Amino acid sequence: MQNLKGKIAWVTGAGSGIGEGAAVALAEAGATVVLTGRRVPKLEAVAARIGQHAHVQPGDMTVVADVNRVAAWIREKFGRLDIFVANAGANIPKRSWADMEPSGADMVIAANLNSAFYGVLAVLPMMRAQKDGVIIVTASMAGRFIGGLSGAAYTASKHGAVAMSHSINMQECVNGIRCTALLPGEVATEILDKRPVPVSAEDRAKMVQSPEVGDLIRYIACLPPHVTINEVMITPTWNRGYVNALRAPKL
């Protein structure tokens, strides 16, 4: 497995959770990492963990002008981009059809799907020019399986993110570009705070942790150029969906 020395990586939603885990893991493998998100203090804290190979470029990935500004900065500063981790995302407490509002649906779809689309559109020209590049899209198990927990808007947006990822491979494989749809199950991140039913510390401790997802992202980024992992799931062993099914009364 190769290391990432000399590679340039852009991680969105990099101020916490999976984005932070990915940024740290990629930097540990030798990459220079550009950190993007809306919360500057959080980004600066992650950059301080990484050191001189981290660059903070704040922005809202749902705003095209912000996305294009950061991509232009990367192109001018480094002249290339090797790894793009489209990780920005969100959810809302009012997520069922009974209580969801249009503004909430708009926000979730923009955060989870539009942000990834805008980012991919911004980075593809650089990757095509160098005939090389890895794109990793943080989707979700909710992007492959339909259930009630994640809510309609989140589930729909993550299904879109998975479809987008496969379409990139279908069209850009001839340009040496590889895309992975990353499908985590429950990960102990801040997004759990948006759950309608609070998640206990005990349950969070049994979930996948952000550094573990970051390590998987590093592994994908380190694969040789002729290899693509099109889609991959990472879940807790104590999978609460499975556990609840086992405990349910038998019909």
What average pLDDT does the structure give for the chain?
95
Rounded to an integer, what distance in angstroms lies between the CA atom of residue 178 and that of residue 57? 24
At the top level of CATH, which class does the domain 8-247 belong to?
alpha beta
Chain CA centroid to CA 79, Å: 23
**pLDDT value, residue 2:** 56
**pLDDT value, residue 1:** 42
**pTM value?**
0.94
Q: What is the mean pLDDT of residues 154-176?
A: 98
Q: Is 154 a catalytic residue?
A: yes
Rounded to an integer, what distance in angstroms lies between the CA atom of residue 148 and that of residue 223? 35
* Assigned token pair, 135: 């794109």
